[in-house]
Amino acid sequence: MASRRAFSPQTIRVLAALCAEPSAWRHGYTLAKQTGLKSGTLYPILVRLADRGLVEASWEDEHVPGRPRRHLYRLTADGRAAAATAAIPQPTAAREGATPRGRRPARLAPRAAVPWTG
Amino acid sequence: MDRLSRPAAAVLRWCARLLPAGRAEWAEAILAEAENVPAGWQRLAWLGGGLRMVSGESMIMRKAGAICAFAVAVGCIASLSWPQSAVNRVTVANRVSLLVTVALLVGLWVAGRQLVGPARAGRAQRLVRAGGYSAVLALTLGKASVERMRGPESLGPGAGGLLWTGEALFLLVMAIFTAVVIVATAQRSPVTTGTLLRGIAAGLPVGMAMFVFLPLGVVRYQASRVLPAVPQDALGALAWTAVLVAPAVAGVLAARRFTSGQALPPAAGPACGLSARLGKAFALSGAGTDGAADSEARIRQGVAAGLVAGLTGAMLAVLLGTATIALLPHDSQLLGWLYPHLSHAATLPAEQGAGGNAAGYLLLLLAVPFAGLGVGSIAALIAIPDRAQPPGGVIAAESRLTGSAAGTLAAGPS
């Protein structure tokens, strides 16, 4: 369930980056470049958003030789609602339906509930 | 991975083990993503950010800070309550008491992690744990200071048995208090945050009332000056009433406001009467109806709130009382404020009398939590209807099912 707590400016930047293509799976490094956040700031934000059910995380199912599988992120329906509440511009319907890079990542097993502490 | 980043990646991979189960994949995600970051300083900075995340998520700094604070507090107490001179039976007992108390705090913390998990991540739980541990350490220091004020009769022959019995009782009470604090704030605790806070909120005024009006009269002279029109006995009766009413209120509120599904599995079989329902609420096996499980979970919250209220009140009263008595020889203003009617020559016996009476606080610490537990249990049982039992009683329900007419004769409210 989405929290009513106000988002930090950094979290709003992450939500805005994810909101640009809400249904597309995004990599951490791409998000770091788009938001200008360091990994030490970006990932705790992603962890909190995932805990609150605003972001879903998944490992890519396609194994590329020479490098490990990457972790991917996108907004959930709650995340889109939260982004709308935070007055983050929503994308058009055409962009929303796009699936980037033609990959469908494997779904993770449901994560154990971790209490929201942020 | 380039040479510059390889050691950092190895450190991050090792540190990821410190993360809880649900968080470890995030460190793996940073490691995997590092392969896509340009090699060199950028990748090193990326991995450094990963270490920062691990540090935050595993709460290493907070845990290290808590351990350091505990060690410093124990060191301070040892230096304050460990006089170099006048080693006698009382100082030996105090040293043993301090060592056993520290062993209890550490041992119960370790055992609690195994049995009910680590502390819950909420701010309330962290504060309660820190407050509980601080209270035990402060009381140990206060007790050691107060016992130095005892008269020479405590060093005489025959007083040793009483002294060690008192120490054993004190340690037992501290162990119970610490165990309740650990269980109530643990991840697998059946006590909700609301129950915990309601119990504490009810216990704090009880503690203040007991400190001012009961039982040893340290500040009763001042209380009688502030409230001259009210008889002392009436104030005492009011304080005792608060001791009984506040845990009941906390128990009822905790039982009625409980909404989440944190119930332990209820026991099987019908339960009639208050004691049977209470036993069933804390049984760990069997299965019951949804309504019965909800009712039992509510009763557990009420019982827990009553116990927390009693423990909070008793600990606050004992801490304030012991600290006041311990400060008497060091603070002439406090002494003059508490005993303005005494001459200079009479203050030493007054101090010694207060020091001797401080043992009475131990009884308060034993009695009030049990009173809170009992009153909270009864209040919760009365406030929560027995949903496991259909109208007309268990036997009536059985007779309705079997069609037996004889069962209806025995039916009746339990």
> Highest-confidence range of B46-50, B60-64, B280-284, B293-297, by mean pLDDT?
B46-50
Q: Give me B295's structure tokens.
A: 């009712």
Tell me the nearest-neighbour CA distance from A75 into chain B, angstroms. 17
pLDDT at residue B284 in the model: 43
Nearest to A88 by CA among A116, A54, A115: A54
pLDDT at residue B224 in the model: 60
**Cross-chain Cβ contact B35/A67 below 8 Å:** yes
Would residue A48 count as lying in a domain? yes
Q: How confident is the model at residue B337 (pLDDT cuts 50, 70, 90)?
A: low
Average pLDDT over chain B, rounded to an integer: 76
Q: What is the mean pLDDT of residues B346-356?
A: 61
Would residue A1 count as lying in a domain? no
Tell me the nearest-neighbour CA distance from A36 into chain B, angstroms. 12
Dihedral over Cα of A34, A39, A40, A44: its sign: positive
ipTM, two decimals: 0.75
A49's enclosing H/E stretch is: helix A39-51
Q: How confident is the model at residue B136 (pLDDT cuts 50, 70, 90)?
A: very high
Q: Distances in Å between the alpha carbon of B374 and those of A92, B76, B302?
A: 62, 37, 10
Count structural domains, chain A: 1
pLDDT at residue B263 in the model: 43
Q: What is the largest CA-CA distance in chain A?
A: 43
> What 8-state DSSP symbol labels residue A63?
P
pTM above 0.90, yes or no: no
Would residue A89 count as lying in a domain? yes
pLDDT at residue B47 in the model: 93
Domain holding A65: CATH number?
1.10.10.10
pLDDT at residue B276 in the model: 61
Cα gap B378→B281, rounded to integer Å: 13
Question: Residue A33's closest chain B neighbor by CA?
Answer: B37
**Cross-chain Cβ contact A46/B26 below 8 Å:** yes
At residue B337, the 3 state secondary structure works out as helix
Nearest CB to B32: which of A43, A44, A71? A71
Nearest CB to B32: which of A32, A47, A70? A70
pLDDT at residue B296 in the model: 79
Mean pLDDT, chain A cut into blocks of 10 residues (118 residues total): 68 91 90 93 93 91 82 92 79 47 42 39
Q: What is the mean pLDDT of residues B371-396?
A: 70
Containing domain of residue A73, as a range?
A: 9-102
pLDDT at B269 over 60: no
What residues of chain A lie within 8 A of the CB of B36, using their CB? 27, 29, 67, 70
Would residue A95 count as lying in a domain? yes
| Cα–Cα–Cα angle for B297, B303, B306, rounded to 5 degrees | 140
Question: Residue B36's closest chain A neighbor by CA?
Answer: A29
Alpha helices in B58-192 (DSSP H): 60-80, 89-116, 123-147, 159-184
Which of B30, B33, B42, B57 to mutate to probe the A interface, most A CBs <10 Å? B33
pLDDT at residue B87 in the model: 62
In sequence order, what DSSP letters do the residues of B273-294 get, joined into one string? Answer: HHHHHHHHHT--S----HHHHH
Tell me the nearest-neighbour CA distance from B50 into chain A, angstroms. 6
Chain A touched by B54 (CB under 8 Å): no
pLDDT at residue A101 in the model: 44
pLDDT at B141 over 80: yes
What residues of chain B lie within 8 A of the CB of A68, using their CB? 31-32, 35
Contacts of B397 (CB under 8 A, 6+ apart): B389, B390
Cα gap B19→B110, rounded to integer Å: 18
Q: Give me B128's structure tokens.
A: 């309660």
| Cα–Cα–Cα angle for B60, B62, B65, rounded to 5 degrees | 105
**Cross-chain Cβ contact A44/B53 below 8 Å:** yes
Question: Residue B49's closest chain A neighbor by CA?
Answer: A40
pLDDT at B304 over 70: yes
**Cross-chain Cβ contact A39/B53 below 8 Å:** yes
Would residue A44 count as lying in a domain? yes
Cα gap B89→B166, rounded to integer Å: 13
Q: At what angle do helices B159-184 and B290-327 cross, to 10 degrees?
A: 130
How many pairs of residues across A and B have Cβ atoms under 8 Å apart? 75
Tell me the nearest-neighbour CA distance from B193 into chain A, angstroms. 13
Looking at per-residue pLDDT, the higher value among A5 and B233 belongs to: B233
Nearest CB to B49: which of A38, A47, A112? A38
**Cross-chain Cβ contact A68/B32 below 8 Å:** yes
pLDDT at residue A73 in the model: 94
Looking at per-residue pLDDT, the higher value among B338 and B283 belongs to: B338
User: Checking DSSP bridges between strand A26-27 and strand A71-75, what pairing results, if any?
Assistant: antiparallel
> What 8-state DSSP symbol labels residue B87?
-
Would residue A30 count as lying in a domain? yes
Residues of A in CB contact (< 8 Å) with B are: 27-29, 32, 38-44, 46-47, 57, 67-71, 108, 111-112, 114-115, 117
Q: Give me B191's structure tokens.
A: 């006590």
Query: If contacts are CB pairs under 8 Å, which of residues 25-44 in chain B contact chain A?
Result: 25-26, 28-33, 35-37
Question: Residue B37's closest chain A neighbor by CA?
Answer: A29
Nearest to B352 by CA among B116, B154, B205, B95: B154
**Cross-chain Cβ contact A39/B36 below 8 Å:** no
Chain A touched by B19 (CB under 8 Å): no
Give percent helix, percent strand, percent coil of chain B, each to the nearest 5: 75, 0, 25
Q: pLDDT tens-digit profile of B23-35? A: 888 999 999 999 8
pLDDT at residue B155 in the model: 59
**Cross-chain Cβ contact A47/B20 below 8 Å:** no
Tell me the nearest-neighbour CA distance from B40 into chain A, angstroms. 15
Q: pLDDT tens-digit profile of B244-267? A: 888 888 888 888 888 755 444 333
Q: Distances in Å between the alpha carbon of B163 and those of B106, B138, B270, B348?
A: 25, 20, 48, 22
What residues of chain A lie within 8 A of the CB of B25, using their CB? 57, 71, 108
What residues of chain B lie within 8 A of the CB of A115, using their CB? 120-122
Would residue A28 count as lying in a domain? yes
Would residue A83 count as lying in a domain? yes
User: Checking DSSP bridges between strand A71-75 and strand A55-59, what pairing results, if any?
Assistant: antiparallel
Q: pLDDT tens-digit profile of B199-229? A: 999 999 888 888 877 655 555 566 666 566 6
